[in-house]
């Protein structure tokens, strides 16, 4: 991207200034610009994207999604529905995925979820006929139930709209259904899955999604994500970006400038100016100042906002106190590989066509990895999410070649030891090569010969994630734990879940705010609508 899009050197006054060009900041900017607001986005990096980036980090021609890969939340979002025409006109392009995710098991068996319900249930039936029938019942009921659950996730929290949604659900579905949905929202993955399925393999297939956030099998509030991802992928499939996840960033950036908005790259905000309790401007690292008459929108981690960008006013002190204990989740490690061919999965060649293959075979392994990581130990066997985007989108690599997207969930940020007792390094710069070898050895157990196909490697430790994006505090790719005390009306803190701050005209968006992590642009669009009045 160019150093600046739509910038005029003499243009220093705006209706709204957005700090940070992640997808939530861009979503807020796009919506406000579409309603006639004069908007500028200021980004410290030389390109937009935040945690949605696609780069050639191994070899020329191999495009790797550095962090987020799955764009299903964006494709199903209210923001996309509202701005679909403009985004598509400015280059947005998706690749639909019918074979979404699978789990491989050490005994050579596997399970996979495809949009063909008969195909999925036939695979499950090999493990449990009762589970196949239960899966079918849940899948068939999901489209109607998703409207209510998705409605909650897409509504400001707390709000009268949430109350209206609950009243509607009570009238149409009844008290028992609402009670069961509330129970789902607060249950652990193990409690929910054990109550619904008897097969260890089906339970593991779904529970692996909990670790995409920061939910080990026994963490309260972790059941809803495995349920939503499993049933959504069954009913609607998955979506990835054509050419890379950054298709949404490119389209939003181009659409914003077409609407008259500006994006200033390579210009870090050093201070948000507060006058008489109101955010009125931002100061940049080159000493210049941009003024905002109606809103300053901070697409940054709330602790960075409170402790680094605001001064010492009463509002800043109040915000700092509120978010002081906002915890990061466990760290994430990414391994990007340029390959001569896709992995040869022992369990079945069919696994080569799935977007994700989870290597998290049972509760015990997932719980052990979670406990080791949160205790500061390098897990002896981390849960792995192996993404195969070029199986679905060959444009990401040279003809006949592939990229592999590997995420280790979860790992510590501060290394206190190695659960395996092998790696002696206690800092990530020294330990990451050895830990990457451990990850490759795990994949090799399921897909022998992988190392012989590797043509290029790029490793991102939790420390590297934080260096690349300061919002990923402690290498937490989710920008804050999603445990119940930091979710819903407590994200990022009780009393501050509606994107406002104690400083007038200053607002927060991003994964640290409600509705949390993911590519759904939820916080940016919610705030954009609230400010614009529609």
What pLDDT is recorded for position 310?
94
Give 312's pLDDT tier (boundaries 50, 70, 90).
Answer: confident
pLDDT digits (tens, 9 = 90+) for 232-271: 999 999 999 999 999 999 999 999 999 999 999 999 999 9
Distance of CA 243 to the CA centre of its chain: 19
Model pTM? Answer: 0.96
Tell me the pLDDT tens digit for each residue of 116-140.
999 999 999 999 999 999 999 999 9
Res. 11 pLDDT band, cuts 50 70 90: low
Residue 375 CB partners (closer than 8 Å, separation 6+): 412, 416
Peptide bond into 84 cis (omega under 30): no
Q: Which of 396, 383, 389 is closest to 333 using CA atoms?
A: 383
pLDDT of residue 357 exceeding 50: yes
- Residues 146-168: pLDDT tens digits? 888 888 888 999 899 999 998 99
Look at residue 1 in the predicted model and tell me its pLDDT.
41
Residues 6+ apart with CB under 8 A from 531: 16, 28, 32, 37, 294, 295, 507
Q: Where are the alpha helices (DSSP H) in 101-237?
A: 117-125, 129-153, 160-173, 175-186, 189-196, 200-207, 224-236
Helix (H, G, I), strand (E, B) or coil at 127: coil
In the chain, the domains with their CATH numbers are 4-56+76-94+244-327+481-532 (3.50.50.60), 116-236 (no CATH), 328-468 (3.90.660)
State the alpha helices, DSSP H only, in 287-427: 302-304, 314-323, 363-374
Query: Looking at residue 4, what is its pLDDT?
Result: 52
How do residues 437-466 score in pLDDT, each as one tens digit?
999 999 999 999 999 999 999 999 999 999
Distance CA 273, CA 292 (A): 10
Contact 504, 277 (CB under 8 A): yes
Whole-number Å distance between alpha carbons of 244 and 93:
9
Q: Is the pLDDT of residue 47 over 50?
A: yes
pLDDT-derived band at 6, boundaries 50, 70, 90? very low
The pLDDT of 492-502, averaged and rounded, is 96
Q: What is the pLDDT of residue 5?
A: 47
Separation of alpha carbons 96 and 94, rounded Å: 6
Q: For all residues of the chain together, what is the average pLDDT? A: 96
Mean pLDDT of 193-220: 97
Over the Cα atoms of the chain, what is R_g? Answer: 23
Residue whose tokens read 């985004």: 87
SS (H, E, C) 239-294: EEECCCCCHHHHHHHHHHHHCCCEEEECCCEEEEEEECCEEEEEEECCCCEEEEEE
Task: Using alpha carbons, select from 91, 114, 93 the residue that is nearest to residue 102.
Answer: 114
What is the CA 41 to chain-centroid distance, rounded?
21
Least reliable range by pLDDT among 42-46, 53-57, 142-146: 142-146
What pLDDT is recorded for position 313? Answer: 84
Confidence of residue 108 (pLDDT cuts 50, 70, 90): very high
Q: What tokens does 322 get?
A: 């509120």
- pLDDT tens per residue, range 165-197: 989 999 999 999 999 999 999 999 999 999 999
The pLDDT of residue 318 is: 95
pLDDT at 10 over 60: no
Q: Regarding predicted confidence, which is higher, 12 or 88?
A: 88
Q: What percent of the chain has pLDDT over 70?
A: 98
- The 10 Å Cβ neighbour count of residue 179 is 11
- The count of other CB atoms within 10 Å of the CB of residue 29 is 30
Q: Is the dihedral of CA 445, 116, 150, 223 positive or negative?
A: negative
Which pLDDT score, from 0 to 100, does residue 287 have? 93
Residue whose entry in the numeric block shows the structure tokens 């495995």: 226
Provide mean pLDDT across the span 206-230.
Answer: 97
Angle at 52 between CA 47 and CA 56, to 5 degrees: 70
Arithmetic mean of pLDDT, 520-532: 98
How far apart are the C-alpha atoms of 394 and 374, rounded to whole Å? 37
Write down the pLDDT at residue 408. Answer: 98
Quick count: other Cβ atoms within 10 Å of Cβ 284? 16
Cα torsion angle, 501, 503, 504, 507, sign: negative
Query: How high is the pLDDT of residue 149?
Result: 85
């Amino acid at each position: 991207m160019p150093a600046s899009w739509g910038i005029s050197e003499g243009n220093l006054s705006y209706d709204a200034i957005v700090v940070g060009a992640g997808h939530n900041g861009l979503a807020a900017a796009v919506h406000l610009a579409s309603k006639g607001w004069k908007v500028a986005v200021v980004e410290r990096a030389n390109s937009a994207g935040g945690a949605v980036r696609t780069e050639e980090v191994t070899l020329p021609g191999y495009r790797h999604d550095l962090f987020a890969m799955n764009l299903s939340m964006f494709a199903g979002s209210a923001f996309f529905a509202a701005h679909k025409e403009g985004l598509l006109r400015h280059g947005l392009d998706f690749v639909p995925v019918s074979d979404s995710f699978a789990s491989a098991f050490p005994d050579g068996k596997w399970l996979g979820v495809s949009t063909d319900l008969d195909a999925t249930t036939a695979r499950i039936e090999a493990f449990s006929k009762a589970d196949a029938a239960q899966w079918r019942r849940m899948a068939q009921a999901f489209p109607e139930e998703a409207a209510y659950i998705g409605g909650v996730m897409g509504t400001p929290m707390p709000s009268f709209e949430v109350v209206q949604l609950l009243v509607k659900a009570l009238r149409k579905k009844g008290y028992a259904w609402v009670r069961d949905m509330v129970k789902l929202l607060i249950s652990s993955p193990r409690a929910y899955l054990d109550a619904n399925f008897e097969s260890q393999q089906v339970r593991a297939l779904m529970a692996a999604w909990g670790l995409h956030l920061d939910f080990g099998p026994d963490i309260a509030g972790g059941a809803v994500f495995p349920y939503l991802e499993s049933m959504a992928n069954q009913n609607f499939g998955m979506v990835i970006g054509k050419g890379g996840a950054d298709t949404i960033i490119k389209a939003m950036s181009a659409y914003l400038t077409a609407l008259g908005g500006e994006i200033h790259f390579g210009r870090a905000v050093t201070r948000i100016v507060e006058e008489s309790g109101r955010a009125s401007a931002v100061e940049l690292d080159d000493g210049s100042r941009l003024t905002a008459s109606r809103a300053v929108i901070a697409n940054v981690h709330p602790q960075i906002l409170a402790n680094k960008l605001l001064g010492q006013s009463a509002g800043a002190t109040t915000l700092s106190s509120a978010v002081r204990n906002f915890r990061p989740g466990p760290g994430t490690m990414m391994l990007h590989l340029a390959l001569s061919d896709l992995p040869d999965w022992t369990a079945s060649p069919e696994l080569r066509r799935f977007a994700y293959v989870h290597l998290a075979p049972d509760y015990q392994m997932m719980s052990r990895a979670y406990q080791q990581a949160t205790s500061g130990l390098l897990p002896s066997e981390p849960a792995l999410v192996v993404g195969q985007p070029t199986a679905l989108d060959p444009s990401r690599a040279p003809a006949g070649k592939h990229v592999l997207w590997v995420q280790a969930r979860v790992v510590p940020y501060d290394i206190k030891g190695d659960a395996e007792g092998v790696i002696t390094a206690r800092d990530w710069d020294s330990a990451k090569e050895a830990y990457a070898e451990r990850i490759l050895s795990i994949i090799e157990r399921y897909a022998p010969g992988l190392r012989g196909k590797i043509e290029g490697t790029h490793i991102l430790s939790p420390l590297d994630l934080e260096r690349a994006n300061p919002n990923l505090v402690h290498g937490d790719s989710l920008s804050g734990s999603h445990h119940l005390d930091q979710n819903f009306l407590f994200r990022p803190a009780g009393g501050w879940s509606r994107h406002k701050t104690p400083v007038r005209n200053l607002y927060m968006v991003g994964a640290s705010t409600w509705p949390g992590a993911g590519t759904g642009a939820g916080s940016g669009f919610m705030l954009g609508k609230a400010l614009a009045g529609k």
